């Protein structure tokens, strides 16, 4: 269980950094975009998506190791 939390946290941190980078380099020109108009929104969205991806990666690794042990 602890390793799953590590994967989710690491994914969330990478996602937050990617979300902020997206805001900084691409952003929204006129400020009407819901996610990319503010750095906080962009970072939180990136953290959420990164956490989901981190959780999925952990599940994929776990399934692969279980399959390998069964063979």
Which of the four pLDDT bands, split at 50, 70 and 90, describes residue 28? confident
d(CA 54, CA 46): 12
Q: Which tens digit of pLDDT belongs to each residue from 11-22?
A: 999 999 999 999
CA separation (Å) from 56 to 5, 33, 51, 65? 12, 28, 9, 14
pLDDT at residue 8 is higher than 80: yes
**Model pLDDT for residues 35-54, shown as the tens digit of each residue:** 888 899 999 999 999 999 99
Give the start-to-end residue ranges of the domains of the chain.
Answer: 2-66
Place of tokens 């998506």: 49
């Amino acid at each position: 269980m602890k390793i799953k939390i590590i994967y989710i946290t690491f994914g969330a941190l990478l996602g937050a950094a990617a979300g902020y980078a997206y805001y900084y380099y691409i952003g929204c020109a006129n400020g009407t975009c819901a996610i990319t108009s503010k750095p906080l929104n962009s970072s939180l969205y990136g953290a959420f998506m990164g956490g989901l991806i981190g959780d999925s990666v952990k599940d994929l690794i776990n399934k692969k190791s279980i399959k390998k042990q069964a063979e």
